[in-house]
Amino acid sequence: MPRSLPPRPAWGRRVAVLNFGALTILVATVVAVARGGRDYLPVHVSNPGAVTTGLSAVLQGAVWLGSSVCLGRWVQVAFLRPRRGARRRAIGVHGELVPAVRAGLVWAVGATALIWVDAADAAGQPVSSLNTSGAWWFLLHANYLPRAWIVSAACAWAIVVISVLATRWDTVVGTLLLGLVGVLSPVVVTQVLVGPNHDYGGDAAIIGTPAFVLLVGIAVARACWPTMSAGDPIEERRARHTTIALAATSVLADVVVCWFEMAGHVPWSEPTGRLLIGKNVCVLAIALANARSSDRRRTPYLTAGAAIAAVTCTAISFRIPPPHYFLPTTIAQNFFGFSVTAAPTFERLLTAWRVNILFAVLSAVAVAVYVAAFVRLRRRGDRWPAGRLVAWVCGWLVIFGCTSSGLGRYAGASFSIHMAFHMGTNMLGPLLLVMGGAVTLFLRATTPHRRDDAAGPHEWIAAVTQSCFARWIYHPAEVFVVMVGSYYVLYFTPLFEDSLRFHWAHQLAYLHFVIAGYLFYGLAIGVDRLPRELPYLGRLAMILAAMPFHAFFGVLVMTRDGVIAKTFYEYVGAPWMKNLAHDQYVGGGIAWAAGEFPLIIVVLALVIQWARQDSTESKRFDRQTDRGLDDSFDAYNDLLASLATRSERNEQ
């Protein structure tokens, strides 16, 4: 049996890590104050003074550490710590999420304070200027950063409440999604927001920031709150693999970010490059210490120290303008990250590729995991239809092709091309994905653990699919409203124009297209067993009800008097875009025609599935009748006889 850890070393580690964290935040603050106007004047912002600069640096360092430890503790408790026995899906019932609550409070308070502090700091005004009537409201709308801190603070407070109330593993999904939004919101509106190639830098930050935050959080959490059993092989193995994966993801993403932000400069010649190098040296040290260290007593101290040092580098670099800020850019480059001066001919739509890193990574990971599960199932001797593998791979190829080909490149500059892109990512791609039956494959390919063993991937997938969250997102009314209503909400409100202005916004819209389509088609003709099953008649009714809404949307777009997102398209000023009204008319026709065709295919597929199920049930019923296992007719005859007897008695 593994021996229990004494409590004193754990408390000693917590005190040491806390002191080191406070010291590094102090160092970041001193550096920020010492640099003075060097971080403000190049971007034409006046120096707000040492007090405002220092407050902003302290709070940002606290937010980085607080969010990392909060989410890292959640991951440690939910995924890394062995969960055995009948209550292995319970979480937080023994006070194990108390550290997440405390770290979340630091995050929430810091992000809330930054709403005011960074409103002044980003505008080059001292904090005292907020006392002027209407100053804070004006500064709030003058910069994106304070609005991003509102989102981050809201997510942090929600996570604190969830951490207090959580009793089941199901809550992990919602918590990590909130955490993802909370840590990314201030990142995507700052250094990776504008400039040439910012689409690459933004995607790399979207992928690398959560990986870095979780890596830091897990390192600090394992140092401060080790497992109850020393040297548990399951936790050690999971933590080692998780650390290496997160470190590799963070480093690879930072390579892209460094290339983007340096804009041709040698990394060590600029403060931003030197800080990125220092951060990644610390990240590699964490991975190396977990992978090769022979002294397990010192490993937690080394990894926690390296993690906090990496956070310090990040907090400092967050405030320094990178070299790409000072490159000459066009309007299209500011919005998209690249130029769209050449006319989008059919040949160019097929050949003018620009890789969308986010969807390329999602597609590659999804296909690799599916193929690995498929191969594992086949090696075990179980059968899995090859057609489902083909459908899954083709679905992701469609999504990758739409987002990375010329279709994705010109989707932001032309409404008609955007509608073709929308149909591909919302209709065709998800339709193929649901035919792959990925959840069923993963459940069959993973091994169920015994009740007394630690929960593994099989139990995690089962917990998600059986959770209240899954039942909610697969509610037929919710799926129908999201699928159909998103067309009207997105395109007939200012939301569409806003989504075109920012790379993170249209990436979020693309994710929404894929997820909404996957939920809709999964409920209609999906292979996987869902937490909410609809009878075939209900599925057919849902599909038929959606068809007129799609057709009506296309007609509304074609007959609309005004041009959707006219101000944005005129501001981009693509030289080949001569007639915005005609382009919108073509887009409405694409939405009408391309939206109806997949739904007709779905209706045909549903009818075939329905007929096959009836045939299967009929054959099963005939076999039971031939074997004498079905007594429904005898029961029915007995019922008729009893009714006849009762009628005779009443007549007498």
State the average pLDDT over residues 472-482. Answer: 89
Three-class SS state of 96:
coil
> Worst-scoring range by mean pLDDT, 5-9, 266-270, 643-647?
5-9
Nearest one of 212, 200, 242 to 312, comparing CA atoms: 212
Q: What is the pLDDT of residues 495-538, one digit of tens each?
A: 999 899 999 999 999 999 999 999 998 888 878 888 877 887 78
> Worst-scoring range by mean pLDDT, 91-105, 288-302, 406-420, 560-574?
288-302
Those residues whose C-beta lies under 8 Å from the C-beta of residue 408, and which sit 6 or more positions away, are 354, 356, 402, 421
State the average pLDDT over residues 124-146. Answer: 82
Whole-number average pLDDT of the chain: 84
pLDDT for res 142: 78
Those residues whose C-beta lies under 8 Å from the C-beta of residue 19, and which sit 6 or more positions away, are none
Residue, of 257 and 643, whose pLDDT is higher? 257
Residue 6's pLDDT band, with cuts at 50, 70 and 90, is very low
pLDDT for res 404: 94
Q: What is the pLDDT of residues 321-338, one digit of tens each?
A: 899 888 888 888 889 999
Three-class SS state of 337:
coil
CB 250 within 8 A of CB 281: no
Token pair, residue 231, equals 């040297």
What is d(CA 399, CA 119) in angstroms, rounded to the nearest whole number?
A: 38
pLDDT for res 181: 95
Residue 87's pLDDT band, with cuts at 50, 70 and 90, is low
Those residues whose C-beta lies under 8 Å from the C-beta of residue 479, and which sit 6 or more positions away, are 473, 519, 520, 523, 542
Q: What is the pLDDT of residues 221-239, one digit of tens each?
A: 888 877 544 456 777 778 8
What is the DSSP code string of 186-201? HHHTTTTSSSTTHHHH
Residue 210's pLDDT band, with cuts at 50, 70 and 90, is very high
CB 426 within 8 A of CB 517: yes
- The CA-to-CA distance between both ends of the chain, in Å, stands at 81
User: What distance lies between CA 519 and its chain's CA centroid?
Assistant: 16
- The answer, yes or no, to whether residue 269 has pLDDT greater than 50, is yes
The sign of the CA dihedral 226, 227, 233, 234 is negative
Residue 637's pLDDT band, with cuts at 50, 70 and 90, is low
CB 527 within 8 A of CB 395: no
Question: pTM for this one?
Answer: 0.88
CB 61 within 8 A of CB 29: yes
Q: Report CA dihedral (192, 144, 493, 546) to the nearest 10 degrees.
A: 50
Q: What is the pLDDT of residues 414-431, one digit of tens each?
A: 999 999 999 999 988 998
Beta strands in 62-203 (DSSP E): none
